[in-house]
Amino acid sequence: MALVLGREEELLAQLRALLTFLPPPASPPAPAAPVKVESIMGTSGGGRRLGSKRDRDDDSEAEAEQHGDEPAAAQPHYCPHPPPPCKRTRRRKNKKKRQQSKCLVTTVPDFDGYQWRKYGQKQIEGAMYPRSYYRCIQSAKQGCQAKRTVQRNDDDGATAPPEYTVVYVAEHTCTANDDALEAPPVILETTTSVVVRAPAAHTDPVVVVVPATATTSAAAAASACSTTVTTGTESPAISGDDVACCCDGLLAAVVHGGCGGSWAPGPADSVSVPSFRLQEMEDLTGPIRSPVHVVPRAWLDR
């Protein structure tokens, strides 16, 4: 028993460490701004210019205008009226130095409590799937520097649900979304149950993090999604038997990798989560949803 408690504490510590990039434990999670239920990349946008804007000379103006989106603090060296030595006066803010980052492998890349806006996508050398680049949706309003990249892990398509490697760069500096406290966020009301897949390839424990109110048992949590959490490039130190605990509104379950093989995919393993359903990730050919649909703790307490 003491052993289990110790593991819980260990898990808690790790979760907290991870969640420093996510909603702060003591304060309401930032998420929450009313989000659109549908923000599926594949259904909107899609425009693409034919010519290169950089062939034009009005870049400086556009750059200056664009600069308004970024916080002054984020660009301490930016001069509002610099002689444009080149077409791009605004230079990388976060490329020069490696920023602190955290890596997370998950089947639900959007399930992190924050809203993100995609600003780029790129096919990475040697990667089967393109990498998507997101920044915090509060970057414009509050100058939040948080960013993340989402890339589907290479697989032969045999694994389902697909796993994504999410790398968080820079901590959120945005405060809890005020709007979120004024109006409830829209929770995805997907009616599809989450089909549990046996993480056959996993030997590491699988950490599942879901809102505490979403399920009543760790097993359900584990069934809701499978998320392997890693910090940096290191494997989590989590090990051991199934553990369930509550962590600031989050219910976490650690499922030893060995149990994965015992999970048989199929309808029998579908789990319906009352009042909170995780969104089933669509096939990778589909878009990666940007907005996150998570119940802020403030809402849970109501």
Partner DNA sequence: TTTATTTGACCGCA
Partner DNA sequence: TGCGGTCAAATAAA
Is 38 a binder of DNA (CB under 7 A)?
yes
CB 75 within 8 A of CB 145: no
Is 46 a binder of DNA (CB under 7 A)?
yes
Backbone angles phi, psi at 244, to 5 degrees: -130, 140
Q: In what order do the strands lie in the sheet with 206-211?
A: 206-211, 250-255, 243-247
Of 27, 44, 100, 275, the residue at the interface with DNA (CB under 7 A) is: 44
Q: How far apart are CA 218 and CA 226, in angstroms?
A: 12
- Identify which range of 21-29, 180-188, 234-242, 285-293 contacts DNA by CB under 7 A: 285-293
Is 16 a binder of DNA (CB under 7 A)?
no
CB of 218 to DNA, least distance (A): 32
Length of the chain in terms of residues written: 302
Q: How far apart are CA 10 and CA 3, in angstroms?
A: 10
Q: How far apart are CA 189 and CA 184, in angstroms?
A: 14
Interface size with DNA, residues (CB under 7 A): 53
Is 77 a binder of DNA (CB under 7 A)?
no
Is 256 a binder of DNA (CB under 7 A)?
no
| Residues 120-149 within binding reach of DNA (CB under 7 A) | 120-122, 124-126, 131-133, 137, 147, 149
CB of 171 to DNA, least distance (A): 14
Is 70 a binder of DNA (CB under 7 A)?
yes
Backbone angles phi, psi at 229, to 5 degrees: -105, 130
Q: How far apart are CA 153 and CA 164, in angstroms?
A: 5
CB of 257 to DNA, least distance (A): 28
Is 39 a binder of DNA (CB under 7 A)?
yes
Please say which residue, 129 or 212, places its beta carbon nearer to DNA: 129
Please say which residue, 193 or 231, places its beta carbon nearer to DNA: 231
CB of 68 to DNA, least distance (A): 10
Is 80 a binder of DNA (CB under 7 A)?
no
CB of 133 to DNA, least distance (A): 4
* Interface pattern 84-123 for DNA (x via CB under 7 A): --xxx-xxxxxxx-x------------------xxxxxx-
- Identify which range of 41-49, 196-204, 235-243, 249-257 contacts DNA by CB under 7 A: 41-49
| Cα-Cα-Cα-Cα dihedral sign, residues 223, 225, 228, 231 | negative
Q: Contact positions toward DNA, by CB under 7 A?
A: 36, 38-39, 41-55, 59, 62-63, 66, 70, 86-88, 90-96, 98, 117-122, 124-126, 131-133, 137, 147, 149, 169, 287, 290-291
